[in-house]
Amino acid sequence: MVVDAHKEWNEMDQKSKELEFARNSLMEELEAINNYQARISATQDAELKKLLIHNMDEEKEHVAMLVEWIRKNDQTQDKMFKEHD
Ligand SMILES: [Fe+2]
């Protein structure tokens, strides 16, 4: 079966689209953290290591901001944060 991604996207309500934007951004921020961590581990330049750590920490702030937004805009996700085992 071929999925018509454009049709699916056009039929999504705006709130669902906004949540998808936020989740995709969250994935990108987490991927950026992993990339920075790998480079921090690999670099032999102390000044560069310090700069990369600073940048990685900023990405962690972005993760926190996106998680907060998702929690505010997805009641089920927010509930899972409160009730998970
Ligand atoms: Fe970021």
12 secondary structure, DSSP code = S
Distance (Å) from CA 3 to ligand 1 centroid: 31
Distance (Å) from CA 4 to ligand 1 centroid: 31
Measured CA to CA, the distance from residue 19 to residue 4 in angstroms comes to 20
Measured CA to CA, the distance from residue 22 to residue 56 in angstroms comes to 19
Distance (Å) from CA 44 to ligand 1 centroid: 24
Distance (Å) from CA 35 to ligand 1 centroid: 12
40 phi and psi angles, rounded to 5 deg: -60, -40
Distance (Å) from CA 26 to ligand 1 centroid: 9
Digit-by-digit pLDDT tens for the chain (85 residues) are: 567 888 899 999 999 999 999 999 999 999 999 999 999 999 999 999 999 999 999 999 999 999 999 999 999 999 999 999 8
Alpha helix stretches (DSSP H) within the chain: 5-11, 14-42, 46-73, 75-83
